[in-house]
Amino acid sequence: LLRKIEEMFALKAKYQNLKLTFQKETDIPRYIKTDEGKLRQVLINLLSNAFKFTEQGQVIVRISLKKSDKKINSYYSNLNYLHFEVEDTGCGIDEYEIGKLFSPFEQTESGIRSQEGTGLGLPISQKFVQQMGGDITVSSIVGKGSVFAFDISIKLAQATEIPVAKAKKIIGLKDKNTEYRILVVDDIPQGRLLLVQLLSSIGFHVIDAENGEEAVNIWQKWQPHLILMDMRMPVMDGYEATRQIKAKGTETIIIALTASAFQEETAGILAAGCDDFVSKPFEDKLLLHKIAEHLKIDYLYESDKSQAIIPPRSLSANQQLRELSADDLKVMPLAWIIKLHQAANRVNNREIFALIGEITAINSDLATKIANLVHNFRCDYLVTVTESIIDQQDKMIDITAIPSFRD
């Protein structure tokens, strides 16, 4: 879990020119029993805030083990504690505003200036931590930064208690005689392309829309079985689009796509009529599981009897990235590879997706692999793999002479 979160924010740190450090004490247990989902969301939320309000310097995550005989409740009693700290060198928080941090819909002056979030992040984080047997504290100095700290009560676990599963790849729909229509709604072009590529490769019939108004019009004419609805869009947002569609008494399933489980009000999403929600960034397997659950469908999986059973801890983002190899890219013209290298080196997602668009029709599998890397914030991996191809060329090539897209 910690490795995946560190990988998730590593590229963001590089892009913002910040130093990200995870400091783990040597006695941290490898396996624990706790609510993984809640812990993940709390860490993502605190790190997101740290990066949002830090323009220079660093973000540090510290994890240590504590022991206590304090009895919290019937379940969390006489247990070990994990102590987390998220420290940043950002703008800091005035003392008089610290009291607002854990009040729903309240935002500090810096939060209002950022024009991001709804003021729900920290209150929900606090609730999650309390449900895990701890609490959140904050200390801050204006102009120097902040430290958010929390403890969670844990039970130690053994490797034999960790469930194992086959790393199976979904290759299609089991029912090939039924047409399943999915509408993807997102104002970010690369987000739409990623989902269209993913779902189309499995066998879904997919149409995309860039705002809620367009989504409502497409729904009326096409009647999709399921809609993946981004909630924050111009023209018409996902809330209003969902209300208009559900007001017609439709059976269409609507799954909300949110920037974070904390940045959107869960109650508001469900009140608008959404049947479920998925937080960004999400793993493909989670989204596909949600779709299968709501449409009551089964997938076909790649069969490979020799495939090893891998514990969840090994299913890291790095392992998923190895699906793209230098050999995959070597089928493309060198000039195209160099453009991809340049775009990835600048973390220019728009340019990368423009290049993906050039190959979608002729090599959809490669397009999907590259899109997945961008979705997982791993432009650094694209830089590495493209650089290895360029370096292998017999002739010296002036990379700067190759034209590139303008930002």
- Residue 395 in any domain: the answer is yes
Judge whether 12 lies within some domain: yes
Q: Is residue 311 part of a domain?
A: no
Residues 6+ apart with CB under 8 A from 193: 353, 356, 357, 371
Strand partners, 309: 166
CATH number of the domain residue 101 falls in: 3.30.565.10
Q: Please tell me whether residues 216 and 284 are part of one structural domain.
A: yes
Give the span between the Cα atoms of 83 and 182, in whole angstroms.
43
- Specify whether 129 is located in the same domain as 225: no
Please check whether residue 377 lies inside any domain of the structure. yes
The last residue of a domain, from among 243, 271, 301: 301
Same domain, 116 and 175: no
What are residue 10's phi and psi, to 5 degrees?
-65, -45
User: Could you tell me the two tokens for 31?
Assistant: 């396996």
- Where does the pLDDT of residue 284 fall: very low under 50, low under 70, confident under 90, or very high at 90 and above? confident
Choose one of 143, 161, 179: the last residue of a domain.
161
- Please check whether residues 116 and 213 belong to one and the same domain: no
Amino acid at 372: N
User: What CATH number does the domain containing 237 carry?
Assistant: 3.40.50.2300
Residues 173 and 63 in one domain: no
Count of structural domains, the chain: 3
- Other Cβ atoms closer than 10 A to 102: 16
Q: Quick one: 6 and 155 in the same domain?
A: yes
Cα–Cα–Cα angle for 245, 214, 225, rounded to 5 degrees: 50
pLDDT reading at 372 higher than 60: yes
- Looking at residue 224, its pLDDT comes to 94
pLDDT for the residue numbered 163:
61
* Rounded Cα gap, residues 313 and 162, in angstroms: 9
- 34 lies in the same domain as 92: yes
Residue 338 lies in a domain: yes
Residue 254 in domain: yes
Q: Are residues 52 and 118 in the same domain?
A: yes
Q: What is the pLDDT of residue 180?
A: 93
Boundary of a domain, candidates 97, 131, 161? 161
pLDDT value of residue 311: 32
Look up the domain containing 249 and give its range. 166-301
Considering the domain boundaries, does residue 306 fall inside one? no
Read off the pLDDT band of 62 (50, 70, 90): very high
Q: Are residues 17 and 148 in the same domain?
A: yes
- Assigned domain for 307 exists: no
The pTM of this model reads: 0.44
123 and 243 within one domain: no
Give, for 81, the enclosing helix (H) or strand (E).
strand 80-88
User: Mean pLDDT, the chain, as a whole number?
Assistant: 78
210 and 252 belong to one structural domain: yes
Task: Please indicate, yes or no, whether residues 209 and 156 belong to a single structural domain of this protein.
Answer: no
Instruction: Judge whether residue 234 has pLDDT over 80.
Output: yes
Specify the pairing of strand 32-33 against strand 309-310. unpaired
